[in-house]
Amino acid sequence: MHPERLLLGPGPSNPYPEAMEAMVRPVLGHLDPDLLSVTREIGDRLRQVFRTTNRLTLPVSGTGSAGMEACLVSLLEPGDVAIVGVNGYFGERLCEVARRAGADVKRVEAPWGSALDPEALLAAQRRHPEARLVAVVHAETSTGVRNEVAPLLALQETDTLFLLDAVTSLGGIPVEVDGWGVDACYSATQKCLGAPPGLAPVTLSERAAARVAGRSSPPASFYLDLGLLDAYLHDPHRYHHTISASLLYALHAGLGRVLGEGLKSVWDRHTRVGEQLQGVLPGIGFELLAAESHRLPQLTTARLPAGVDDAAGRKVLREEFGIEVGGGLGPFAGKAWRIGLMGHAARERSVVTLLGALTVLGG
């Protein structure tokens, strides 16, 4: 039996109590009318959180990575050009998944820790007007950088779709699917939405859904084919797989908590506690990596002070104080920590608990 943890890594975060309690509600069959009504309500709640009216809005039965792959494999056909913004680990993953789907990937890069230039992405699309999509990670979980994506609304005047990774942003900072002209967006339940991991919320615009329906050949994946998932979770409810009732209940409850508090006030809470943490870290020797203009509140990447060893320090935090923080990735491996304040962990008590522990650790 393991103890409780304060989850301040890059995810999972601590789920809201309501989401945990919902998990033990009785399991229902995947086509039970009572479960379909939960699924319908999840769709309604997700539309509010994604800020969209998209009909095709549903949870994919897998984690955020499954949501990424469901979007790419359903929207891309072999040989399609895909423009991908890369300034961290998850931009690289977009490239890898798109390549496996048979796409010809064109990279638009920025250094790890810096933000992408939206004008460079638009310029790449002008060089490759035949591109099927431009894909960007909104909140780079590997660096704590927020990419500016609102200018990609200009893609609506082209035949190129706009695909947004909102795994770490949805529920933490504004994500405006309709307002920014996002054609495909995916997220995960276990970060700012405050539910346990296992499902990936996805939404597609009408033109993206038409693209899925009009493919010349089916996607390489059956499990992650968004056309089949649409026909399963919406009318005509054609059998596809056995979606996990327990995970649906938890997501339903987590979204209920977010919408009950109010989306704007949830964003404000993530911003407030993130800024509290970022306000004090430099004073105790942790240098913030992302520039202030593109710094995420819900995920902070900070360079370790001299004298703090990465693995040993995280071990003390975990074993003595029951706190998880994340290690650095890529060029920051061993040199920086990733500190998340997301979902139920996005509160003042998390900040003071961590600060107290860091003080003891450094002292």
- Between 21 and 206, whose beta carbon lies closer to a copy of itself? 21
Shortest spacing between CB 3 and a copy of itself, in angstroms:
7
Burial of 262 (0-12, 13-18, 19+ CB in 10 A): exposed
Residue 349 found at the interface with a copy of itself (CB under 8 A): no
Shortest spacing between CB 316 and a copy of itself, in angstroms:
13
Residue 308 found at the interface with a copy of itself (CB under 8 A): no
Per the listing, tokens 């919406």 go with 234
For 82, the enclosing helix (H) or strand (E) is: strand 81-86
What would the DSSP string read from start to end of 172-222?
TS---TTTTT-SEEE--SSSTT-S-SS-EEEEE-HHHHHHHHT-SS--S-S
Residue 231 found at the interface with a copy of itself (CB under 8 A): no
Choose the stretch contacting a copy of itself; rule: CB under 8 A; options: 40-48, 109-117, 178-186, 323-331.
Answer: 323-331
- 60, amino acid identity: V
**Listed residue (290, 260, 200) closest to 17, CA to CA:** 260
Residue 63 found at the interface with a copy of itself (CB under 8 A): yes
User: Angle at the Cα of 266 (from 148 to 329), degrees rounded to 5?
Assistant: 50
CA–CA separation, 339 vs 320, rounded Å? 18
- Between 43 and 118, whose beta carbon lies closer to a copy of itself? 43
- Residues of this chain, 187-226, that bind a copy of itself according to CB under 8 A: 188, 190, 196-198, 218-224
Residue 105 found at the interface with a copy of itself (CB under 8 A): no
Binding site residues, a copy of itself, CB under 8 A: 1-5, 7, 9, 11-12, 14-15, 20-21, 23-30, 32-35, 38, 61-66, 69, 73, 93, 96-97, 100-102, 188, 190, 196-198, 218-224, 239-247, 250, 318, 324, 326, 329
